Protein backbone atom coordinates (compact mmCIF):
# COMPACT_ATOMS: atom_id res chain seq x y z
CA UNK A 1 0.00 0.00 0.00
CA UNK A 2 2.81 2.41 0.81
CA UNK A 3 4.74 3.88 -2.10
CA UNK A 4 7.81 5.00 -0.16
CA UNK A 5 9.41 2.38 2.09
CA UNK A 6 10.66 3.68 5.46
CA UNK A 7 14.31 4.59 5.96
CA UNK A 8 16.51 1.93 7.57
CA UNK A 9 18.24 2.86 10.80
CA UNK A 10 21.84 4.06 10.48
CA UNK A 11 24.37 6.10 12.42
CA UNK A 12 24.06 9.80 11.62
CA UNK A 13 27.33 11.26 12.96
CA UNK A 14 29.15 11.40 9.62
CA UNK A 15 26.26 11.98 7.22
CA UNK A 16 23.27 13.47 9.05
CA UNK A 17 21.13 13.93 5.93
CA UNK A 18 20.67 11.97 2.71
CA UNK A 19 17.98 12.24 0.06
CA UNK A 20 17.13 10.97 -3.39
CA UNK A 21 15.59 14.11 -4.83
CA UNK A 22 15.67 16.49 -7.79
CA UNK A 23 17.36 13.85 -9.91
CA UNK A 24 20.33 13.60 -7.54
CA UNK A 25 21.62 11.61 -4.63
CA UNK A 26 22.46 14.46 -2.31
CA UNK A 27 23.04 15.15 1.33
CA UNK A 28 24.94 16.82 4.10
CA UNK A 29 28.27 15.47 5.37
CA UNK A 30 29.82 16.66 8.63
CA UNK A 31 33.38 17.95 8.38
CA UNK A 32 35.90 15.67 10.05
CA UNK A 33 37.97 18.57 11.36
CA UNK A 34 35.58 21.46 12.09
CA UNK A 35 32.41 20.62 14.05
CA UNK A 36 30.79 23.87 12.87
CA UNK A 37 31.21 23.05 9.20
CA UNK A 38 29.28 20.75 6.90
CA UNK A 39 29.65 19.83 3.24
CA UNK A 40 26.80 19.52 0.78
CA UNK A 41 27.60 16.67 -1.61
CA UNK A 42 25.71 15.33 -4.60
CA UNK A 43 25.79 12.93 -7.54
CA UNK A 44 23.42 13.41 -10.49
CA UNK A 45 21.37 10.50 -11.80
CA UNK A 46 22.43 9.30 -15.24
CA UNK A 47 25.60 11.41 -15.69
CA UNK A 48 26.97 10.94 -12.12
CA UNK A 49 28.14 14.57 -12.31
CA UNK A 50 29.34 15.26 -8.79
CA UNK A 51 29.61 18.33 -6.60
CA UNK A 52 30.85 19.06 -3.11
CA UNK A 53 31.05 22.39 -1.31
CA UNK A 54 30.62 23.76 2.19
CA UNK A 55 27.30 25.16 3.30
CA UNK A 56 28.90 28.59 2.70
CA UNK A 57 29.55 27.64 -0.93
CA UNK A 58 33.31 27.14 -0.67
CA UNK A 59 34.30 24.34 -3.04
CA UNK A 60 35.65 21.16 -1.47
CA UNK A 61 39.37 20.75 -2.18
CA UNK A 62 39.05 17.00 -2.36
CA UNK A 63 36.53 17.01 -5.21
CA UNK A 64 38.69 18.48 -7.99
CA UNK A 65 39.60 15.40 -9.99
CA UNK A 66 37.04 12.89 -8.74
CA UNK A 67 34.91 11.82 -5.81
CA UNK A 68 36.08 13.27 -2.49
CA UNK A 69 35.70 11.41 0.79
CA UNK A 70 32.47 13.29 1.50
CA UNK A 71 30.87 11.97 -1.67
CA UNK A 72 32.10 8.46 -0.89
CA UNK A 73 30.61 8.68 2.60
CA UNK A 74 27.36 10.03 1.13
CA UNK A 75 26.98 7.01 -1.17
CA UNK A 76 27.84 4.55 1.60
CA UNK A 77 25.27 6.04 3.99
CA UNK A 78 22.61 6.30 1.27
CA UNK A 79 23.08 2.58 0.69
CA UNK A 80 22.55 1.95 4.41
CA UNK A 81 19.44 4.13 4.50
CA UNK A 82 17.72 3.09 1.27
CA UNK A 83 19.41 -0.14 0.25
CA UNK A 84 21.95 -0.43 -2.59
CA UNK A 85 19.36 -1.46 -5.14
CA UNK A 86 17.16 1.60 -4.69
CA UNK A 87 20.14 3.99 -4.77
CA UNK A 88 21.54 2.35 -7.91
CA UNK A 89 18.14 2.45 -9.58
CA UNK A 90 17.68 6.12 -8.76
CA UNK A 91 21.12 7.01 -10.11
CA UNK A 92 20.49 4.86 -13.20
CA UNK A 93 23.71 3.06 -12.35
CA UNK A 94 24.53 -0.30 -13.89
CA UNK A 95 26.93 -1.92 -11.47
CA UNK A 96 28.60 -5.15 -12.48
CA UNK A 97 27.69 -8.64 -11.34
CA UNK A 98 27.84 -9.76 -7.77
CA UNK A 99 26.63 -8.51 -4.43
CA UNK A 100 26.04 -4.77 -4.46
CA UNK A 101 27.26 -2.73 -1.49
CA UNK A 102 28.25 0.87 -0.84
CA UNK A 103 31.91 0.44 -1.76
CA UNK A 104 31.01 -1.50 -4.90
CA UNK A 105 28.56 1.16 -6.00
CA UNK A 106 31.08 3.99 -5.44
CA UNK A 107 33.68 2.07 -7.42
CA UNK A 108 31.36 1.43 -10.35
CA UNK A 109 30.29 5.09 -10.45
CA UNK A 110 33.89 6.36 -10.21
CA UNK A 111 34.95 3.96 -12.97
CA UNK A 112 32.82 5.89 -15.48
CA UNK A 113 35.06 8.93 -14.87
CA UNK A 114 32.19 11.35 -14.30
CA UNK A 115 32.68 15.11 -14.72
CA UNK A 116 32.29 17.63 -11.93
CA UNK A 117 28.91 19.35 -11.90
CA UNK A 118 27.93 22.78 -10.63
CA UNK A 119 27.48 23.48 -6.92
CA UNK A 120 24.25 25.45 -7.44
CA UNK A 121 22.20 22.76 -5.70
CA UNK A 122 24.00 23.23 -2.37
CA UNK A 123 21.77 25.99 -1.01
CA UNK A 124 18.41 24.22 -1.48
CA UNK A 125 19.79 20.94 -0.13
CA UNK A 126 21.19 22.66 2.94
CA UNK A 127 17.92 24.50 3.55
CA UNK A 128 15.97 21.25 3.25
CA UNK A 129 18.33 19.73 5.81
CA UNK A 130 17.66 22.64 8.17
CA UNK A 131 13.90 22.26 7.62
CA UNK A 132 14.28 18.56 8.38
CA UNK A 133 16.03 19.42 11.68
CA UNK A 134 13.18 21.70 12.73
CA UNK A 135 10.90 18.63 12.81
CA UNK A 136 12.64 17.57 16.02
CA UNK A 137 11.56 20.75 17.75
CA UNK A 138 7.81 20.34 17.17
CA UNK A 139 5.68 19.16 20.09
CA UNK A 140 3.66 15.93 19.86
CA UNK A 141 -0.13 16.30 19.90
CA UNK A 142 -2.83 13.97 21.23
CA UNK A 143 -5.69 14.90 18.91
CA UNK A 144 -6.18 11.98 16.51
CA UNK A 145 -4.82 12.17 12.94
CA UNK A 146 -7.21 9.82 11.09
CA UNK A 147 -5.33 10.11 7.79
CA UNK A 148 -2.29 8.38 9.30
CA UNK A 149 -4.25 5.13 8.72
CA UNK A 150 -3.14 5.48 5.11
CA UNK A 151 0.46 5.17 6.29
CA UNK A 152 0.72 1.92 8.24
CA UNK A 153 3.92 0.89 9.92
CA UNK A 154 5.64 -1.68 7.72
CA UNK A 155 8.32 -2.67 10.12
CA UNK A 156 7.70 -6.27 11.15
CA UNK A 157 10.98 -8.15 11.41
CA UNK A 158 10.44 -11.76 10.38
Can you give the binding site for other proteins, defined by CB under 8 A? 1-4, 6-13, 16-17, 20-23, 30, 35-36, 38, 55, 81, 129-158
70 binds, among other proteins, Zn ion, none (CB under 5 to 8 A by kind): Zn ion
| Sites for Zn ion among residues 67-106 (CB under 5 A) | 68, 70
60 binds, among Zn ion, other proteins, none (CB under 5 to 8 A by kind): Zn ion
Q: Which is nearer to other proteins, 56 or 97 (CB)?
A: 56
Give the distance, in angstroms, between the CA of residue 51 and the centroid of all CA atoms in the same chain.
13
Q: Which is nearer to other proteins, 113 or 149 (CB)?
A: 149
Q: Does 51 bind Zn ion (CB under 5 A)?
A: no
Q: Does 63 bind Zn ion (CB under 5 A)?
A: yes
**Closest distance to other proteins from the beta carbon of 99 (Å):** 23
**Count of beta carbons in the 10 Å neighbourhood of residue 100:** 18
Q: Which is nearer to other proteins, 94 or 139 (CB)?
A: 139
Q: Which is nearer to Zn ion, 78 or 100 (CB)?
A: 78
Q: Return all residues near 29 (Cβ < 8 A) that are at least 6 apart.
A: 14, 15, 38, 39, 40, 41, 70, 73, 74
**Closest distance to Zn ion from the beta carbon of 155 (Å):** 34
Q: Which is nearer to Zn ion, 52 or 80 (CB)?
A: 52
CA angle 8, 12, 16 (to 5 degrees): 105
Burial of 106 (0-12, 13-18, 19+ CB in 10 A): buried
**Burial readout 41-68 (b: 16 or more C-beta within 10 A, e: otherwise):** bbbbbeebebbbbbbeeeebeebeeebb
Element (H, E) at 157: none
Q: Does 52 bind Zn ion (CB under 5 A)?
A: yes
Amino acid sequence: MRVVPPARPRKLAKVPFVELADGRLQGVVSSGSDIGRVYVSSIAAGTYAYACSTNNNRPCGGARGGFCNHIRALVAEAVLQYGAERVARYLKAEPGDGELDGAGLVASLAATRPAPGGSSAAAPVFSRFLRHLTYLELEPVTAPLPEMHWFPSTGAVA
